[in-house]
Amino acid sequence: MMSDPKPTFYTSWFCPFAQRVWIALLEKGIDFEYIDVDPFKKTPEWLSVSPRGLVPVLVHQGKSVYESSICIEYIDEEWPENPILPKAPYQRAYERIWADHIAKKIVPPFYAMLLKKETELQENAKKEMLEQLLVLTKAMDPTGPYFAGSQVGLVDIMLAPFAIRFFILKHYRGFQVPSGDESPFSRFNKWYIAIKERDSTVKTSASDEEYIGIYKRYTDDTGQSLVATAIRQGTALP
C-alpha cells in the first residue's frame, strides 16, 4: 500500500468543532486534502471513516482520528514543528484543563442560548456564558494577547470558532460580552481581537450571512444535530 503522508481532513463548513482542527492544520502549515461532508447523511462509507458519524475526522496513513482536541494533539505530535502545546508537563496540563473548561462550561450555554425556547432558559444561558467566560479570562496570561501569552495554543484554537460565532448569539438572542477598558472582560476582548484577525481564523470562517442562515434552524427548533438533540434533552454533548 502506498505510503500516505498527506492527511485527509473531513469537515463541514459550518461546524465549529471541525473549524478547530482546520485552524490547527493551517497553523502547522500542513499540506492536507479537504473534504466537505454532510454529517447528517450517515452512509456506510461515511461511518467507515467516522465511526460516530461526526465531523471532524482526520484520516492519515489509513487511520481515523476523531474528537477535535484529540485531532489537535495528534497533529501536534505527528508534525512537531510550530508546537501548539508547550513542552512542560504542567503547562500542557494547564492547556488541557482550560480546553476542558471550554467543552463543559462554555460550549453548552452557547447552544442552550440558541436552542431553548423559553426566555428564562435563554437568559440563564447568557448568565452562565458570561460567568464561565470570566473564569476563563482570569486564567489567561495577563499580557497575552493569546491565552498563554504571545503564541497561539490549544485553548485559543478550542475557543476561537465559538468566539467568532458570538455575533450569532447577539443576532438571535441579544447576547453580548461587555466592552470597555474598565470591563472585567477587557482581557477577553483583547484576546478576541487578536484571534479574530489571525490568518488561520480568517481563512477558516464563513461569511456572517452564511452563519446567520445556518444557525436559524437552532432557533426555530428544527436543528437535527446530535448537539441540538442533547441540548433539548438536557444530556451531555456528544
Partner 1 sequence: MASDKPSLYTAWHSPFGWRAWISLLEKGVEFDYHETDPYEKSPEWFKISPRGLAPCIRHKGKSVYESTICMEYIDEAWPCTPRLLPEDPYDRAYVRMWTDHVNKKIIPHIFGMIVHQTATEQEKSKQDALDGIAAYLEAMRDGGPYFLGQNFSMADIALGTFGSIFFCMEHYRGFKVPNEAKFVKFHDWIQTIVARKSWQTVLPPREQVLEDWRPYAEGVAQTELAKAAKQGKTP
Q: Residues interacting with partner 1, by CB under 8 A?
A: 60-61, 63, 65-67, 70-71, 73-74, 77-78, 89-90, 92-94, 96-97, 100-101, 233-236, 238
In the bound state with partner 1, the residue whose beta carbon lies nearer, of 50 and 205, is 50
In the bound state with partner 1, the residue whose beta carbon lies nearer, of 74 and 192, is 74
In the bound state with partner 1, the residue whose beta carbon lies nearer, of 7 and 145, is 7
- Closest listed residue to residue 198, CA positions, set 128, 138, 145: 145
Smallest separation (angstroms) from partner 1 to the CB of 234: 5
Smallest separation (angstroms) from partner 1 to the CB of 190: 22
Cα gap 166→26, rounded to integer Å: 22
In the bound state with partner 1, the residue whose beta carbon lies nearer, of 5 and 234, is 234
Smallest separation (angstroms) from partner 1 to the CB of 34: 20
Smallest separation (angstroms) from partner 1 to the CB of 200: 21
In the bound state with partner 1, the residue whose beta carbon lies nearer, of 17 and 192, is 17
Smallest separation (angstroms) from partner 1 to the CB of 169: 22
In the numeric block, which cell numbers belong to residue 218? 437552532
Beta-ladder partners of 58: 9, 65
Smallest separation (angstroms) from partner 1 to the CB of 211: 27
**What residue ranges in 23-179 does DSSP mark as E strands?**
33-36, 57-60, 63-66
In the bound state with partner 1, the residue whose beta carbon lies nearer, of 67 and 128, is 67
Cα gap 106→120, rounded to integer Å: 18
Sheet bearing 33-36, strands edge to edge: 33-36, 8-11, 57-60, 63-66
Smallest separation (angstroms) from partner 1 to the CB of 140: 14
φ, ψ of residue 45 to 5 degrees: the values are -65, -45
Beta-ladder partners of 183: none
> Got the DSSP string for 46-63?
HHHH-TT--S-EEEETTE
In the bound state with partner 1, the residue whose beta carbon lies nearer, of 54 and 164, is 54
Cα gap 102→110, rounded to integer Å: 10
Counting other chains too, the contacts that 36-39 makes at CB distance below 8 Å and 24 or more residues apart are: 36/11, 36/12, 37/10, 37/11, 37/12, 38/12, 39/12, 39/15, 39/225
